[in-house]
C-alpha cells in the first residue's frame, strides 16, 4: 500500500497579554458578573513580559528549540527557569502582540479593523522589515497597497463607545478596534468578528512559517484543511466556514481549495487522518493542515494561577501547520490502516476510550503497546493545568495506556511507570483546546524519524463533544506513523514489483494458451 507521508510541521505562539484582559472568556465573564473584583483590578500585575514568554522552556519547545527529552531534563516545572531563548525557532516563531494586531489588519478583507495612525505606521514598518527577509519588495508593496491610512484615536474611541466595536489594545492602551459586520446578526458582531480574525491571522502566521521553514513551493499545495475550534458564518449558516481558503488566500497559496474540520480537541487528529486518506487516494498531492488560536481560552485558568501567586500562564495564542504529501520514500508514513476510532457504541469510560484508540488499531497491526516508541497525546503544559486542579494531563494519558498494556499482557505491573518514562513525554503546549492534541510533537517526530530516535509513533486526539450540548458522547481518533521503508509504489496502489509479476504471469498464461492450441 502506498501511504501518504508527513512532510513538514511548523508552530507559532503569539504573546497577547492585553487580549487576556479584554477577550479571554474567564475575564469577560468576571467583568460581567463581578466587575469590581480584586482579580480584575490587579490582573495587570500577573501578566508576563514578552521576554519572559520567549525565555520560558515550554514555549521554546513549542517552536522547536528545545527537544521534549531536553525539556524533561529541566525538571517537572519550568517556572522561574530562564532558558535564554530566541524568538525564531527551528519549527516556528513567538510573535509579540503589536505585530500580530497588524497581521489582523492584513487579514481584514472588509475594512473592519481600524488602527490608530501612529500605531499602524510603526507596526507596518516592523512588518515590512521582517517580511523583506523572505519576500521581494514588489510583493510586499503590493500587499501594503491594500492597507488604508490609520484613524485618529478619538474616532476609534467613538467606535468602541457608540458603535459596539471591539477594542484592540497594546500595553494597556487602545490602539484600534474591530467593527461589527452587521447591525443585528449576532454571528457578525464585533466580538465574533474579532475572534474569527484572530483565528485567521494566527493560522496565516503558522502557514507562512511552514512554507519558509520547509522551503515549500506555495503553488504545489492543492488543499488546505483548517481545524481550529471556532466557526465562521452568518445568521443563515453560523458555522459555514471557510477559514481554510481565507488563510490560504492571505498566505499566498494560489492553487489550493480548502475546507474546515471541527471536532473540538480531536479535530487535528481527524484532519491528519483525512489528509492522509485523500493523498493516498490520489485526490490531492499536497495537503496542508492548519489551525489558528482561540482568544476565549486566554487566561482560562487565570484566577487559579493568581490565587496561587503565579503569573497568568495562558498568555499565548497557539497555532500550527503541517504538510501531508505523496510518498517520497524518505518522510514518515501515515498508516491509514492503523487508525483508532472512538465509535458511538464505544462509551466514554476511560478504559473504553483507550481500547478504541490504542488497543484496536495496534491489534490490527499485530503490535503491542511497547512497539510504539512515542505516544503523542494531549500534550498540555502541566505548569498550567496542575495549579488549576487538572493534574498532569499527558502523564495521566500515559498511565492509562500503560494500564491497558498491563491488561493486555504486553507489560507487567512493575513495568508500568518505566513504560510511562520511556514512551511518554512532558507536556509543553498551551491550553488552547485543539492545539495540544497530538499535533505539537509532529515537527520533532520528523526529526526523530530521520535520526533513528523513533521508528513508530502514535498520534492520539480526543474531544469533548458534550460541550456543544448536542450529545453526551466523547470523541477520539488516533493514527500510527512509521519510518519510511524507502519503497515507493505506483499511484495505483500496486508496486512495480507486483505489476511485473502480474505481467509475467499473464504472459505465461498467454503462452500456455497458444501452445495448447
The residue whose grid cell reads 519558509 is 212
| One domain, residues 309 and 389 | no
Q: What residue spans of 132-188 are helical by DSSP H? A: 137-144, 153-162
- Residue 52, Cα to own-chain centre: how many angstroms? 22
| One domain, residues 320 and 338 | no
| One domain, residues 280 and 364 | no
| One domain, residues 279 and 347 | no
503 found inside a domain: no
Cα of first residue to Cα of last residue in the chain, in angstroms, is 38
Smallest CA-to-CA distance from 406 within 461, 478, 340, 351 is with 351
Q: Enter the C-alpha cell of residue 386.
A: 496542575
137 found inside a domain: yes
DSSP 371: G
- The pairing of strands 286-291 and 223-226 is parallel
491's CB contacts (< 8 A; 6+ apart) are 2, 282
Helix axes 97-106, 190-213, angle to 10 degrees: 100
Which segments of the chain have a pLDDT < 50? 491-493
Domain stops at, among 325, 342, 369:
325
CATH number at residue 447: 3.40.47
Indicate the burial class of 511 (C-beta count within 10 angstroms; 0-12, 13-18, 19 or more).
Answer: exposed
The residue whose grid cell reads 510504539 is 372
Residues 498 and 495: their CA atoms lie apart, in Å, by 5
| One domain, residues 41 and 153 | yes
Residues 255 and 241: their CA atoms lie apart, in Å, by 19
Torsion sign, CA atoms 493, 495, 499, 504:
negative
63 found inside a domain: yes
Q: What is the pLDDT of residue 488?
A: 82
Domain holding 451, by residue range, is: 333-482
Q: What is the DSSP string of 417-480?
A: HHHHHHH-----B-S-SSTTBSGGGHHHHHHHHHHTS-SEEEEEEEE-GGGGTS----EEEEEE
Domain stops at, among 308, 325, 342:
325
Beta pairing partners, 115: 176
239 found inside a domain: yes
Q: What is the pLDDT of residue 321?
A: 98
- Residue 290, Cα to own-chain centre: how many angstroms? 6
Q: Into how many domains does the chain fold?
A: 2
Q: Enter the C-alpha cell of residue 340.
A: 483508532
Residues 425 and 374: their CA atoms lie apart, in Å, by 8
Using CA atoms, how far residue 128 sits from 10, 87, 94, 144, in Å, is 22, 17, 17, 9
| One domain, residues 371 and 274 | no
DSSP 238: T
| One domain, residues 320 and 346 | no
| One domain, residues 288 and 379 | no
| One domain, residues 156 and 255 | yes
Residues 382 and 161: their CA atoms lie apart, in Å, by 40
What dihedral do alpha carbons 276, 91, 223, 339 form, nearest 10°? 20
208 found inside a domain: yes
510 found inside a domain: no
| One domain, residues 136 and 153 | yes
487 found inside a domain: no
| One domain, residues 190 and 252 | yes
Smallest CA-to-CA distance from 401 within 420, 386, 414, 382 is with 420
- Residue 316, Cα to own-chain centre: how many angstroms? 13
Domain stops at, among 292, 325, 358:
325
301 found inside a domain: yes
Q: What angle do CA 231, 178, 247 make, to 5 degrees?
A: 45
DSSP 285: S
- As a 3-state breakdown, the chain gives helix, strand, coil percent values, each rounded to 5, of 45, 15, 35
| One domain, residues 36 and 91 | yes
Amino acid at each position: 500500500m502506498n501511504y501518504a507521508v508527513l512532510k513538514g510541521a511548523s508552530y507559532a505562539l503569539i504573546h497577547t497579554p492585553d487580549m487576556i484582559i479584554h477577550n479571554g472568556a474567564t475575564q469577560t465573564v468576571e467583568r460581567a458578573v463581578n466587575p469590581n473584583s480584586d482579580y480584575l483590578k490587579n490582573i495587570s500585575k500577573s501578566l508576563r513580559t514578552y521576554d519572559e514568554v520567549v525565555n520560558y522552556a515550554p514555549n521554546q519547545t513549542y517552536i522547536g528549540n528545545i527537544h521534549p527529552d531536553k525539556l524533561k531534563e529541566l525538571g517537572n516545572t519550568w517556572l522561574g527557569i530562564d532558558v535564554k531563548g530566541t524568538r525564531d525557532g527551528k519549527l516556528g516563531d513567538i510573535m509579540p502582540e503589536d505585530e500580530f494586531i497588524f497581521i489582523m489588519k492584513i487579514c481584514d478583507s472588509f475594512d473592519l479593523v481600524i488602527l490608530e495612525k501612529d500605531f499602524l505606521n510603526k507596526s507596518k514598518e516592523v512588518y515590512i522589515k521582517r517580511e523583506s527577509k523572505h519576500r521581494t519588495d514588489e510583493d510586499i508593496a503590493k500587499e501594503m497597497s491594500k492597507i488604508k491610512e490609520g484613524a485618529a484615536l478619538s474616532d476609534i474611541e467613538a467606535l468602541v463607545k457608540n458603535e459596539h466595536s471591539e477594542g484592540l489594545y497594546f500595553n494597556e492602551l487602545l490602539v484600534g478596534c474591530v467593527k461589527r459586520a452587521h447591525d443585528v446578526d449576532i454571528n457578525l458582531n464585533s466580538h465574533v468578528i474579532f475572534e474569527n480574525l484572530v483565528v485567521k491571522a494566527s493560522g496565516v502566521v503558522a502557514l507562512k512559517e511552514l512554507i519558509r521553514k520547509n522551503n515549500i513551493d506555495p503553488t504545489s499545495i492543492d488543499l488546505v484543511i483548517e481545524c481550529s475550534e471556532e466557526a465562521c458564518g452568518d445568521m443563515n449558516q453560523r458555522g459555514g466556514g471557510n477559514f481554510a481558503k481565507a488563510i490560504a488566500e492571505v498566505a499566498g497559496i494560489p492553487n489550493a481549495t480548502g475546507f474546515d474540520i471541527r471536532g473540538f480537541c480531536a479535530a487535528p487528529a481527524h484532519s491528519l487522518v483525512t489528509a492522509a486518506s485523500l493523498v493516498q487516494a490520489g485526490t490531492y498531492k499536497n495537503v496542508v493542515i492548519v489551525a489558528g488560536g482561540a482568544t476565549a481560552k486566554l487566561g482560562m485558568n487565570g484566577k487559579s494561577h493568581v490565587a496561587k501567586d503565579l503569573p497568568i500562564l495562558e498568555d499565548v495564542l497557539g497555532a500550527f501547520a503541517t504538510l501531508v504529501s505523496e510518498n517520497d520514500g524518505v518522510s514518515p508514513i501515515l498508516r491509514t490502516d492503523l487508525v483508532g476510532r472512538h465509535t458511538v457504541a464505544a462509551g466514554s469510560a476511560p478504559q473504553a476510550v483507550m481500547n478504541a484508540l490504542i488497543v484496536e488499531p495496534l491489534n490490527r497491526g499485530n503490535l503491542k503497546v511497547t512497539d510504539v516508541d512515542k505516544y503523542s497525546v494531549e500534550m498540555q503544559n502541566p505548569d498550567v493545568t496542575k495549579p488549576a486542579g487538572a493534574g498532569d494531563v499527558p502523564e495521566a494519558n500515559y498511565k492509562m495506556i500503560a494500564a491497558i498494556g498491563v491488561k493486555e499482557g504486553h507489560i507487567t505491573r512493575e513495568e508500568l511507570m518505566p513504560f510511562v518514562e520511556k514512551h511518554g513525554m512532558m507536556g509543553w503546549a498551551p491550553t488552547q483546546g485543539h492545539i495540544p492534541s497530538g499535533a505539537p510533537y509532529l515537527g520533532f517526530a520528523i526529526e526523530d524519524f530521520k535520526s533513528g530516535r523513533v521508528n513508530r509513533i502514535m498520534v492520539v486526539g480526543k474531544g469533548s463533544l458534550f460541550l456543544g450540548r448536542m450529545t453526551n458522547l466523547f470523541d477520539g481518533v488516533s493514527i500510527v506513523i512509521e519510518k519510511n521503508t524507502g519503497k515507493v509504489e505506483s499511484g495505483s496502489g500496486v508496486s512495480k514489483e507486483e505489476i511485473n509479476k502480474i505481467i509475467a504471469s499473464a504472459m505465461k498464461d498467454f503462452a500456455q494458451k497458444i501452445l495448447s492450441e
